Amino acid sequence: MRIVDIREVTRPISSPIRNAYIDFSKMTLSLVAVVTDVIRDGKPVVGYGFNSNGRYGQGSLIRERFRPRILEAAPDSLLDESGNNLDPHQVWACMMSNEKPGGHGERSVAVGTVDMAIWDAVAKIEGKPLYQLLAERYGNGTPKREVFVYAAGGYYWPGQDLQALKNEMQGYLDRGYKVVKKKIGGGSLADDLKRIEAVLSILPAGCKLAVDANGRFDLKTAVEYAKVLSQYDLFWYEEAGDPLDYALQAELANHYQGPMATGENLFSMQDARNLIRYGGMRADRDWLQFDCALSYGLVEYLRTLDMLKEHGWSPSRCIPHGGHQMSLAIAAGLGLGGNESYPDLFQPFGGFPDGVQVKDSIVTLPELPGIGFEGKADLYAEMKALGEA
Ligand SMILES: O=C([O-])CC(=O)C(=O)O
Ligand SMILES: [Mg+2]
């Protein structure tokens, strides 16, 4: 078998929202199709991938470096031992040939996007859900199809008042979520507190709020917020300072006893390892949000999970950023603590297969081959236009 083509298209996922650092008025993503010559149900198997929100489409890197490397490689060098399927680790090594270490910037997003499509193809060729394949190859053999999800929103919308914020959050509760997230750091502390209290005022017992500063704060501000946020029983306090400022994160732990979360902007195992070594994160309560779609894909994420294990961290402390089905499959296959979800944003790319309902903040993954994109009609329509044209 061989890869016949790799196609990329850059799509808008823009909206007028902003967090403490960026607005999303020009946000895009790359959608990738990896076309193989393997025939299933009378059609070539095509794997699909896309990158998460927050970084932009990676078309030029994919077209200039990663696509040609794969297509120019000897087809057999990309296969597993059976010779009947791709080996994602070999494809990854091929993409990363002649790439120096460090400086993980945008290329990790390009590689992560192609890697997602490779895993989708591999699981489809095996005729299994990706979560099943992962549980068999790297997990305990049995996936856990019920995955915790929380609703991320609470962005700064133009003109949104407190009532509109409450309505937004109520909408998530009505759809079955028990944990909701809102942004902080995009206004004054006093305004943020009004917004936090507005949300808390509508949360029933058993439901929780997480807050996300998107790396905006210096140490002084992060600590100021920590002191005030300590009065609430928050689900977590996320990305207070710059993602690479491990000393800030470590110092913050001296001022905030509740759970903290970070990692969505760490794009390699090595960066994640530095967070674990130097960031003062606490394995008994904190959360790790590394997102494979931004950070060299699942091949690298497997290395990150191994690194975590060596440092005494359970995969159940990981709740990835990004709200995509790839991380849902990894969560189900390898026992992560859950996944992010953006019920009202970044469509059609985020979310779940059609008909999957959130109940008590849990989704149950259906048995679809691959990652499961074909189960979401609006998403699959976009994918099919690229991959089956
Ligand atoms: O607003 C963003 O860039 C997304 C984000 O931080 C998250 O989902 O945690
Ligand atoms: Mg975040």
Query: Amino acid letter at 183?
Result: K
Residue nearest to ligand 1 atom 6, measured at CA = 214
Q: Is residue 386, in this structure, part of any structural domain at all? A: no
Ligand with smallest separation from the Cα of 346: 1
Both 369 and 303 in one domain: the answer is: yes
Both 15 and 95 in one domain: the answer is: yes
Residues within 6 Å of ligand 1 by CB: 19, 54, 152, 212, 214, 264, 321, 340
Q: What are the DSSP E strand ranges found in the chain?
A: 3-12, 28-40, 43-50, 146-152, 179-183, 208-212, 236-238, 260-262, 287-288, 339-341, 362-364
Q: What is the ipTM of this complex?
A: 0.99
Compute, in angstroms, the gap from residue 292 CA to the centroid of ligand 2: 14
Both 28 and 177 in one domain: the answer is: no
Query: Amino acid letter at 5?
Result: D
Rounded to an integer, the average pLDDT of 279-284 is: 98
> What is the enclosing helix (H) or strand (E) of 220?
helix 219-229
Task: Measure the N-to-C terminal CA separation of the chain; round to a whole number of Å.
Answer: 20
Is the distance from CB of 178 to CB of 166 less than 8 angstroms? no
- Check residue 204 and report its DSSP letter: P
Active site residue 183: yes
Residue nearest to ligand 1 atom 2, measured at CA = 54
Q: What is the CATH number of the domain that holds 344?
A: 3.20.20.120
Q: Is residue 15, in this structure, part of any structural domain at all? A: yes
In angstroms, rounded to a whole number, what is the distance separating the alpha carbons of residues 85 and 252? 47
**Domain housing 195:** 137-377
Is the distance from CB of 48 to CB of 290 less than 8 angstroms? no
Residue 198 pLDDT:
98
Backbone angles phi, psi at 9, to 5 degrees: -140, 140
**107, 127, 147 — which closes off a domain?**
127
User: Does the pLDDT value for residue 105 go beyond 90?
Assistant: no
Rounded to an integer, the average pLDDT of 16-45 is: 97
Residue 221's Cα: distance from chain center in Å? 27
**101, 127, 153 — which closes off a domain?**
127
In angstroms, rounded to a whole number, what is the distance separating the alpha carbons of residues 211 and 147? 21
* Stated pTM of the model: 0.98
**102, 127, 152 — which closes off a domain?**
127
Segment 155-211, tens digit of pLDDT: 999 999 999 999 999 999 999 999 999 999 999 999 999 999 999 999 999 999 999
Residue 248 CB contacts under 8 Å (≥ 6 apart), including other chains: 218, 219, 222, 240, 241, 242
User: Does the pLDDT value for residue 389 go beyond 90?
Assistant: no
Q: How many domains does the chain have?
A: 2
Q: Of 178, 182, 321, 324, which one is the catalytic site residue?
A: 321
Residues bordering ligand 2, an ion, CB closer than 5 Å:
212
In angstroms, rounded to a whole number, what is the distance separating the alpha carbons of residues 349 and 341? 11
Both 197 and 103 in one domain: the answer is: no
Best residue among 29, 262, 264, 340 to mutate for probing ligand 1, ranked by most atoms within 8 Å of CB:
264
